[in-house]
Structure 1
């Protein structure tokens, strides 16, 4: 495998860039408990692994070559992002500042992170473009592919955990009624913008 450290750097910068997954992690970290937050992160990491596997199969090739298939998956992913955005936007902040937040089930948070990542076709094309740059044609393709995929998933867990940890510092301020309202509006708007951007984007 060639330039592994370069791959780690590129992957880390990609993961750290604000996107739907990062916003979901921050939102969970501020408004939910640690268990919910890490369930969502592991869901995102699982989704990334699934996407990386799909990128190495015929499904990835189909999405890369078929405009109809790509558009269909893209619109499904966009609709899901917009749905999450509307859900966050409409969430009501409690009138009681000291109200205890009710956590979601960990399974629900896990599935939310999983579906958020797996329903977006863009990462499949990203992996299809990225992996060949760091795979040695003379080595074992399967071993290198697994290493690159697991490295990316591990970086997702580490970087998202960092975002979650830093978000806890602002938790008390943002959990005030006004702060939660602003957070919900901003997070919802970002998700809807990502959804619209995904729906209107081209390959």
Structure 2
């Protein structure tokens, strides 16, 4: 129990750290509403499950040791974030408030959330260093990784939905004017681009 509580605490700290997932969640909350932002969050969780499975299978070690594989995933991820940023920056503000425009389909939000987290190779390296601290080699590994994975996902969903998505609701009043919508689109566009640049430049 003490080990699990330590895991919960670590997950809370990690999830509260702003990153591409947080930016994506806040953007979805503003664009489609707080309730529907859950689809993007679920997509991000699918990516986390994939990362955990990769680490549990031992493939993560191979990725972390292969500079070519690591860089390939890293540049694809950075390019995707920059693309999202440019699209957000140029988003139309001509018709109605952001939350009242034609809402993005749930599948599109889920897919984008999946790609935002999946194309971050540093998440694999992070989990490779993070997860073994909460796994006992003298116990069956599959149940332990299942518990760790479930904990990581539940904590991240709660933090993303009730912290970042809720925080974005405070900005909704800015969407009542065209200038406010334009400003928010440009701010979130720049945030996506900034995170993409960090993904490439920070080692």
Give the alignment's TM-score, normalised by structure 2: 0.92
Whether the aligned pair in 2 keeps the contact of 1:31 and 1:175 (CA below 8 Å) is no
The 8 Å contact of residues 77 and 195 in structure 1, kept in 2 or not, is answered as yes
CA offsets 1:136-194 (integer angstroms, 9 cap, x no match): 22211111111111110111111111122332233122342222111111111111111
In structure 2, the CA distance between the partners of 1:192 and 1:126, relative to structure 1 (3 Å rule), is same
Could you list the per-position Cα deviations for residues 59-110 of structure 1 after superposition, in whole angstroms to 9, with x for gaps in the alignment? 2111111111111111111111111111111112226569931101110111
In structure 2, list runs of 5 or more residues that go unmatched.
Answer: none
- Residue of structure 1 equivalent to 2:60: 60
C-alpha change, 1:111 and 1:5, in structure 2 (3 Å) is same
> Which residue number corresponds to residue 196 of structure 2?
195
Contact 2:11 2:152 in 1 (8 A): yes
**8 Å CA contact retained: 1:46, 1:114:** yes
Q: 1:2 to 1:132 in 2, by over 3 A?
A: farther
Q: Structure 2: how far apart are the matches of 1:53 and 1:165?
A: 30
Q: Return 5+ residue gaps in structure 1 as ranges.
A: none
Q: CA deviation at 1:58?
A: 3.6
- The aligned residue for residue 182 of structure 2 is 181
1:48·1:153 contact (CA, 8 Å) conserved in 2? Answer: yes
**Cα distance in 2, alignment partners of residues 154 and 106 from structure 1:** 20
Q: How many residues align?
A: 202
Report if aligned partners of 1:48, 1:117 keep a CA contact under 8 Å in 2.
Answer: yes
In 1: Cα distance, 2:96 partner to 2:84 partner: 25
Task: Give the match's secondary structure for 2:42.
Answer: helix
Residues 2 and 65 of structure 1, relative CA distance in 2, 3 Å threshold = farther
- Match of 1:104, SS state, is coil
> What does residue range 134-173 of structure 1 map to in structure 2 within 5 Å?
134-162=134-162, 163-173=164-174
**TM-score by structure 1 length?**
0.92
